[in-house]
Structure 1
Amino acid sequence: MGYGVSIQDSSKDKYVTLQYDRGGSYQDGLCIGDKRKKDIGYRLIKCLFQIAGKKGNDGVWVLKAKNLTHNHEPAIDVSGHPSLCRLSLEDVQSFKNMTLSGIPPRQILSSLR
């Protein structure tokens, strides 16, 4: 645990490029004209990890390591990894049922936690 993977680029039934879910970098967007944007927390950490996959003529996917290096330690807390923090199908259904029953959002959140 400690590493999440997301799709960086893909084409259906042709190829896929996987990356660390916090990989990549932000475009320089701190300034708009002469106005400075509010400084917010950043999630991306420029990790270089990448795996490329290609679908062969026989329909079998072949994965190839492009870059297996990380510039960080494994995460201890998965809350910073969106790909690991999704609700299960049961939780989604429970959320829908509670919403339709008129339960306030704060109670739904407490229940899901």
Structure 2
Amino acid sequence: MAHDPKTLQAAMAAAVPDLELTYKPMFGGILAYAGGKPVASLSDVGLALKLAGADQAALLSLPDAKPLQYGPDQPVSKSYVVVPDDLLADAAALRDWVHKAAQAAAKAPAKKVKKA
């Protein structure tokens, strides 16, 4: 099922009113950031959270969760997991997962800026 990134953004924002997120348009979709670090991809594929380790494995264990892949000829993401549609309708559960993604982003090292 194709998703509307703006609708996903509204659902995500409603689920985490306590979390300061910023959103930037990217390649026909939207990237969500917490503390300047990416936490989610919102696209026609769905809402995908950036997770690692046990949190990523736990989300992938849910029915209909899958690694993010924008198209059949595109690579499969190693860090983003598309949340199941059922989870989008459960604000409390979605809140928990978005907070986990934000916590993971906060722990991630800052990217080094390359000198020109």
The structure with the largest alpha-carbon Rg is 1
Q: Same fold (TM over 0.5)?
A: no
TM-score in terms of structure 1 length? 0.26
TM-score in terms of structure 2 length? 0.26
Report which structure shows greater RCO (CA 8 Å, sep ≥6). Answer: 2
